[in-house]
Amino acid sequence: MTLILRARFFPPLRCGTDGEDPVMSPEKITVRMTVNGKAYVRDVEPRYLLADFLRHELYLTGTHIGCEHGVCGACTVLINGKTGRSCLQFAVALDGAEITTVEGIAGDGPLHPVQEAFHQAHALQCGYCTPGFLLTTIEFLGQNPDPDRDEIRQALTNNMCRCTGYLNIIDAVEDAAGRLRAKGGEA
């Protein structure tokens, strides 16, 4: 949002106007990626975004697309273990990377403790933002296993929920932290 509105700031530059592709027949580049533990090889155009690669090439449609300019967090995945906006990454630039999407956090098994906590706390309404929130929560609790509510609020700025179910999401993250600590304690 911010970026659209602030676009007037951008200097007039050596760029094609809308719709005019400066390269008419772009060659495809081979990309190798491990997604949710599975190795994939595909030939894609350089301009192919990771979000589209996941959804249209690998049919992993759990990664949602909201704003396509990095603001909303719906498309958040783990890229080599760190949350990243899949709408701001070119697939070809991630040759050799390891990606985790929402489909990979529990596999075919029972729900991941963070998913279970979201489920119990009613931390989703339409669910569109949920995959992004889950991956943000997994990264955050990996770095801060016992956060207070202020720290949780701060961490959740990574994502937006249009149904504005934030209070339940905060409850869920708090509960998820307890679940993960208990699980860690058992192991």
Partner 1 sequence: MKPAAFKYFRPDTLEEVLSLLAEHGAEARILAGGQSLVPLMNMRILSPAVLIDINRCRDLAYLREEGGMVACGALTRQGEAETSALVADRLPLLAAAMPHVGVRANRNFGTVCGSLAHADPLGELPSVATALEARFVIASARGRREVDAEEFFVSALTNCLEPDEMLAEVRLPVAAAGGKSVFLEIANRAHGFAVAGLAALVEFDAGGRCSRARLSAMGAGDTTARLRTVEALLEGGTLDDAVIREAGAAATKAAEPSDDVHASAAYRAHVTGSLVRKALRQMLGNGEQGR
Ligand X SMILES: Cc1cc2nc3c(=O)[nH]c(=O)nc-3n(C[C@H](O)[C@H](O)[C@H](O)COP(=O)(O)OP(=O)(O)OC[C@H]3O[C@@H](n4cnc5c(N)ncnc54)[C@H](O)[C@@H]3O)c2cc1C
Instruction: Compute the distance between CA of residue 187 and CA of residue 51 in angstroms, rounded to an integer.
Output: 35
Provide, rounded to whole angstroms, the least separation between the CB of residue 130 and ligand FES.
6
Provide, rounded to whole angstroms, the least separation between the CB of residue 182 and partner 1.
25
Number of residue whose CB is nearest ligand X: 70
Instruction: Work out whether 70 is an interface residue with ligand X (CB under 6 A).
Output: yes
Residues at the site binding ligand FES, with contacts judged by CB under 6 A: 65-68, 70-75, 85, 87, 124-129, 161-163, 165
Query: Do residues 64 and 75 lie in contact, with contact meaning Cβ atoms separated by under 8 Å?
Result: yes
Instruction: Compute the distance between CA of residue 141 and CA of residue 90 in angstroms, rounded to an integer.
Output: 27
Instruction: Compute the distance between CA of residue 38 and CA of residue 100 in angstroms, rounded to an integer.
Output: 10
- Which residue, 187, 86, 81, is CA-closest to 138? 81
Long-range contacts of 36-45 (CB under 8 A, 24+ apart): 36/60, 36/99, 36/100, 36/101, 36/103, 36/104, 36/107, 37/104, 42/91, 44/91, 44/92
Provide, rounded to whole angstroms, the least separation between the CB of residue 145 and ligand FES.
25
Residues at the site binding partner 1, with contacts judged by CB under 8 A: 2-7, 9-11, 13-24, 26, 29, 45-47, 49, 52, 68-71, 73, 76, 79, 82-85, 87-90, 92-93, 95, 136, 139-140, 153-155, 157-158
Q: What is the size of the binding site for ligand X (CB under 6 A)?
A: 2
Q: Which is nearer to partner 1, 123 or 135 (CB)?
A: 135
Provide, rounded to whole angstroms, the least separation between the CB of residue 136 and ligand FES.
11
